[in-house]
């Protein structure tokens, strides 16, 4: 028995899973899994997932034997250390550890990794991971089984909206322009990777080549939103209202990234604010607990 309410806060993947195995989901999906329907709501029907493209790696002429290499990097590239780089990564290269990173975590095929990394062996390199922060492509989160311990099925459905593909191609074009600036040409920055096996029929580094390469390399970051989307009652895609309460269910709120209606930036700062707002709403309703 719940005296006040239940707060679901499992994130954009686990919160919809919890609701679905509890019978809150589109009726057809629940009936396929023999889960009793408690409330027919579009849980997991929308999943906006951000994406990145690993593999944009450039060689430099910095020598491993250069005694003032660190000063060289400070002079031309602006600094060293975890606070000067994204995600605290100050260095990674085509080593055995990096190969494991690309093959396992980024789910890259061995053939693609070989094509990208072979020309970079024993060289210093500079890499860029462009991230599409405002995807328009809609994926889904579904149940594989009704067992809550089984992983749900994620379908990021990347590039189903062609505008996402066009914007990522534009980002790659900008990256190459950055590589051609005087600061980077002072260290002879060059893109030297071999063509990907699946894209060899296209002129290397042409528009058609990158269109093919993006479909080979793009990786879903799984920092999604909107699986328990917030919206007004007449919004057929909404799962919770503006007080984060699940429609049709008494005493239940969802408080995490899943309620964010659309993707517009990295979700973490927004999630902090969702939590703060939820705390205010609960205090207003129940007083200080």
Q: Give 28-95 as a DSSP string.
A: HHHHHTTPPPSB---TTS-BB--EE-TTEEEE----TT-TTHHHHHHHHH---SGGGSGGG-----SS
Task: Say if residues 254 and 18 touch (Cβ distance below 8 Å).
Answer: no
Choose between 168 and 104: higher pLDDT: 168
Rounded to the nearest 5 percent, the helix, strand and coil shares of the chain are 40, 15, 50
- Cα separation, 15 vs 227, in Å, equals 8
Structure token pair of residue 246:
């699940």
Q: For residue 289, what pLDDT is reported?
A: 60
* pLDDT value at residue 94: 47
For the segment 72-82, the average pLDDT, to the nearest whole number, is 56
Tell whether the model's pLDDT for residue 70 goes beyond 90.
no
Mean pLDDT of the chain: 87
More confident residue, 163 or 108: 163
Task: Give the Cα separation of 118 and 93 in Å (integer).
Answer: 11
Q: Averaged over 59-68, what is the pLDDT? A: 62
127-162 pLDDT, tens digit each: 888 999 899 999 999 999 999 999 999 999 999 999
Question: Where is pLDDT greater, at 183 or 101?
Answer: 183
- Is the pLDDT at 84 greater than 80, yes or no? no
Q: How far, CA to CA in Å, does 183 sit from each of 173, 180, 188?
A: 18, 8, 9
Kindly tell me if the per-residue pLDDT of 99 is higher than 90.
no
State the Cα–Cα distance between residues 169 and 209, nearest whole angstrom: 10
Length of the chain: 289
The b-or-e profile of 208-233 (16+ CB within 10 A means b, else e) is ebbbbbbebbbbbeebbbbbbbbbee
Does the pLDDT at position 46 exceed 80?
A: yes
Instruction: Encode pLDDT of 188-207 as tens digits.
Output: 889 999 999 999 999 999 99
**Please, which pLDDT band fits residue 54 given cuts at 50, 70 and 90?**
confident
**Residues 62 and 187: beta-carbon distance below 8 Å:** yes
What distance in Å separates the CA atoms of residue 237 and residue 43, rounded to the nearest whole number?
8
Read off the pLDDT band of 107 (50, 70, 90).
confident
- Residue 90 clears pLDDT 70, i.e. is over it: no
pLDDT at 228: 98
- pLDDT for 231 beyond 50: yes
Per-position b or e across 2-27, b if 16+ CB within 10 A of its CB? eeeeeebbbbbbbbbbbbbbbbbbbe
The tokens for 77 are: 């590239």
Report the share of the chain in percent with pLDDT over 90. Answer: 65
Does residue 179 have a pLDDT over 70? yes
Q: Predicted confidence band at 266 (pLDDT cuts at 50, 70, 90)?
A: confident
């Amino acid at each position: 028995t719940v005296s006040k309410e239940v707060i679901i806060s499992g994130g954009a993947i686990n919160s919809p899973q919890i609701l679905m195995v509890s019978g809150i989901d589109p009726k057809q999906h629940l009936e396929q899994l023999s889960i009793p329907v408690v409330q027919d709501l579009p849980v997991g029907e929308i999943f906006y997932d951000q994406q990145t493209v690993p593999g944009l790696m450039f060689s430099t002429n910095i020598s491993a034997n250069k005694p003032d290499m660190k000063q060289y990097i400070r002079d031309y590239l602006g600094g060293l250390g975890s606070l000067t780089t994204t995600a605290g990564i100050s260095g990674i290269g085509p080593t055995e550890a990096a190969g494991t990173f690309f093959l396992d975590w980024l789910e890259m095929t061995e053939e693609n990794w070989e094509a990208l990394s072979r020309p970079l062996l024993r060289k210093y390199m500079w890499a860029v991971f462009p991230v599409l922060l405002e995807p328009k492509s809609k994926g889904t989160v579904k149940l594989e089984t009704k067992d809550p311990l089984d992983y749900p099925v994620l379908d990021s459905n990347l590039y189903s909206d062609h505008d996402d593909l066009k914007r990522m191609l534009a980002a790659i074009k900008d990256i190459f322009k950055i590589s051609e600036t005087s600061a980077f040409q002072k260290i002879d920055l060059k893109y030297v990777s071999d063509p990907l096996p699946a894209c060899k029929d296209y002129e290397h580094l042409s528009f058609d080549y990158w269109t093919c390469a993006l479909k080979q390399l793009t990786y879903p970051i799984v920092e999604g939103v909107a699986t328990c989307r917030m919206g007004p009652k007449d919004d057929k895609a909404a799962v919770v209202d503006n007080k984060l309460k699940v429609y049709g269910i008494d005493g239940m709120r969802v408080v995490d990234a899943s309620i964010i209606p659309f993707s517009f930036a990295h979700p973490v700062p927004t999630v902090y604010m969702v939590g703060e707002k939820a705390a205010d709403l609960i205090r207003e309703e129940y007083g200080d607990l």
